[in-house]
């Protein structure tokens, strides 16, 4: 009898071990399926950062976008570093850097830091009034023309006409600022009306 109990107990343990092995096998298969699914989905996420105010419809399709999108983004991006006060310059720079290509952030960070230091030191207020916007969706380029106004320590300076060029680049499923600079009227990259 004692041997029969031992054999029955051994059979129960073997059955339990087989169930555990089957459960572990199922968990391994599930983990592999999940890993394959995650690998397939990674990099396929598409995020598009939009200006805070959307004034008209536009379209986005992967690496392409409408002229209206680039114009709205260009106006928003251009306003961040050009419409500033000593109180808002750091927040504007921080927001601006989120739209800059990751490889260029250090360069633009240095530029922002120098500008913030100057704005605070001089107690300056600056703003840019846009008079015209031109864009080319194929080149992902926006040209903004307008008047730049500066006040330093309550002294208003004469407005100056300025033209800014913004070129967007597509990376990691979204559009980033590749180039943002003040340009001369004879610059060949300017889109003629």
> CA torsion angle for 157, 109, 165, 131 (degrees, to 10)?
-40
Angle at 120 between CA 115 and CA 123, to 5 degrees: 115
CA 160 to chain centre: 30
Q: What is the CATH number of domain 60-183?
A: 3.10.450.230
Q: How far apart are CA 88 and CA 81, in angstroms?
A: 10
Q: What is the pLDDT along the chain (193 residues), one digit of tens a residue?
A: 577 887 888 889 999 999 999 999 999 999 999 988 877 776 555 444 455 667 778 888 878 888 999 999 999 999 999 999 999 999 999 999 999 999 999 999 999 999 999 999 999 999 999 999 999 999 999 999 999 999 999 899 999 999 999 999 999 888 999 999 999 988 888 776 6
* Contact indicator for 89, 123 with CB cutoff of 8 Å: no
How much is the pTM?
Answer: 0.69
Neighbours of 91 (CB within 10 A): 11
Structure letter (DSSP) for residue 190? S
């Amino acid at each position: 009898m004692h041997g029969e109990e031992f054999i029955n107990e051994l059979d129960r343990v073997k059955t339990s071990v087989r169930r555990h092995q089957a459960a572990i096998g199922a968990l391994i298969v599930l983990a592999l399926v999940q890993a394959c699914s995650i690998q397939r989905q990674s990099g396929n996420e598409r995020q598009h950062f939009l200006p805070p105010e959307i004034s008209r419809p536009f379209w986005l399709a992967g690496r392409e976008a409408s002229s209206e999108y680039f114009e709205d983004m260009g106006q928003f991006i251009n306003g961040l570093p050009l419409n500033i006060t000593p109180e808002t310059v750091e927040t504007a720079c921080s927001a601006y850097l989120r739209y800059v290509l990751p490889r260029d952030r250090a360069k633009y960070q240095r530029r922002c830091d120098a500008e913030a230091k100057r704005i605070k030191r001089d107690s300056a207020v600056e703003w840019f009034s846009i008079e015209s916007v031109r864009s080319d969706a194929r080149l992902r380029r926006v040209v903004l023309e307008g008047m730049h106004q500066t006040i330093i320590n309550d002294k208003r300076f004469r407005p100056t006409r300025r033209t800014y060029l913004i070129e967007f680049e597509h990376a990691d499923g979204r559009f980033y600022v590749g180039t943002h600079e003040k340009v001369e009227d004879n610059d060949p990259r300017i889109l003629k009306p």
